[in-house]
Amino acid sequence: MSRIDVVHDCDPGNDDAVAILAAIGHPGIALRAVTTTYGHLAGDRTARNAAIAVAAAGADVPVHAGASAPLVRERLIARLLDFDSGLDAPRPQLAAVPLAVGDSVSALRAAVEAHPGLTIVATGPLTNLARLLTDHPETAAGIGRIVTLGAAWGLGTKTPSAEWNVVSDPDAAAIVYAAPVPVTIVPVDASATVPIDADLVAAVAGRPGPGAALAAELLASLEGLHTPPVVGPPGCPLHDPCAILVAADASLATVAPAQVEVDLRPGLTYGRTVFNFRPDAHNPANVDVVVTLDPARTRAALVDALAGLS
């Protein structure tokens, strides 16, 4: 299988960490770097968590810390409290890899220059990517595609209107969606159809090595904490690993072109992503949207990728 060059921009978090492990183990991906941003956790914690995931995989992949706050708005979670992470438990047998020199934007720029046609998979707020495209617009020509987990055409996840990754930095999302780069959005409406359940956890746990063991632990933690929504699929959604898996194998998804914009007006709809699946000459498509995923094949692809860690 030929491999694509990938940088994973993320905010670990349990499902981001599983996505890192899947990217390292996937036979179709050459993971060139991991870059981090704030998310439900502060930026120093997401960088540490990414470094733990890379260490668990035994991989030689640099981890670069990045944005600690959005472009314009205040960091959402900082006004409340930082969530716990499944990676918080002491693991004396597993030392996090040292963080690489240079911030995330510098690392992204260097990776694009070194690997023309690079795929950037983003599974957190899009602050790092927006800064890259704004501060270094020439890099757009070298990016093969951005695949981002986030947005929703239906109900929001953080607010009634807005999905977490987008509403964390709506201005950044608007910049990325409008950039002269091919963009694929994996919205949470699609990733929510791929469930984490006991069967998936058992399948991952049955694979050898500390990387698969950590992934099984994190998946079990997510599944155990899940509360079924009032509207939507009842199972615990896989979310972030779906973006990695789709980047490596587009056949897992059905994709449609769409015009997608972010509502930046203050109020109840702030951060909402508006999807127009009937683009035309006056309202052209600016992204490709994953409208369905094959749940069985996506879950199998995750297990296979994690098996590649051994």
Q: Which residues pair with 119 in a beta bridge?
A: 6, 145
- Per-residue DSSP letters for 104-165? HHHHHHHHHHHSTTEEEEE-S-SHHHHHHHHH-GGGGGGEEEEEEE---SS--SSSSS--HH
Total Cβ atoms within 10 A of residue 62: 22
Torsion of CA 292, 295, 301, 305, to 10 degrees: 100
Establish whether 239 is a catalytic residue.
yes
d(CA 106, CA 196): 35
Ramachandran region, residue 151 (left: φ > 0; alpha: ψ -120 to 50; beta: rest): left
CA pseudo-torsion sign 273, 279, 285, 289: positive
Q: Which of 64, 226, 239, 282 is catalytic?
A: 239
144: exposed, middle or buried (C-beta count within 10 Å: 0-12, 13-18, 19+)? middle
Task: Just list the catalytic residues.
Answer: 239
